[in-house]
Amino acid sequence: MIIKEVKSLIKKEILLEWRQKFALNGILLYIISTVFICYLSFGLKQKQINPATWNALFWIIMLFTAVNAVAKGFSQERGGRFLYYYTLASPEGIILSKIIYNSLLMIFLTFIGYFFFSIINQNPVADKPLFLINLTIGSIGFSSTLTMVSGIVSKVGNNTVLMSILSFPIMLPMLLMLIKISMHAIDGLERSLIYDELTTLVALNAIVLALSYLLFPFLWRS
Whether the per-residue pLDDT at 18 is higher than 90: the answer is no
Cβ atoms of 140 and 66 within 8 Å: the answer is: no
Query: Do residues 62 and 110 lie in contact, with contact meaning Cβ atoms separated by under 8 Å?
Result: yes
Is pLDDT above 80 for 98?
Answer: yes
Three-class SS string for 48-80? CCCHHHHHHHHHHHHHHHHHHHHCCCCCCCCHH
The predicted pLDDT at position 9 comes to 81
What spatial distance separates the first Cα and last Cα of the chain, rounded to whole Å? 24
User: 183 or 94: whose pLDDT is higher?
Assistant: 183
> What does 17-31 look like in DSSP terms, one character per residue?
HHHTHHHHHHHHHHH
- The residue type at 216: F
N residues, the chain: 222
Q: Where in the chain are the domains?
A: 2-221
Q: In this structure, how many other beta carbons lie within 10 angstroms of the beta carbon of residue 9?
A: 21
Residue-wise pLDDT for 143-162, tens only, equals 988 888 887 777 766 566 67
Question: Apex CA 54: angle with CA 53 and CA 56, to 5°?
Answer: 65
User: How confident is the model over 100-128, as a mean pLDDT?
Assistant: 90
* pTM beyond cutoff 0.75: yes
Q: Which of 85, 88, 100 is closest to 212 using CA atoms?
A: 100
Q: Report the mean per-residue pLDDT for the chain.
A: 82
Residue 91 has pLDDT above 90, yes or no: no
Confidence of residue 49 (pLDDT cuts 50, 70, 90): confident
Name the least confident of 25-29, 87-91, 137-141, 190-194. Answer: 87-91
pLDDT tens digit sequence for 74-85: 666 655 666 666
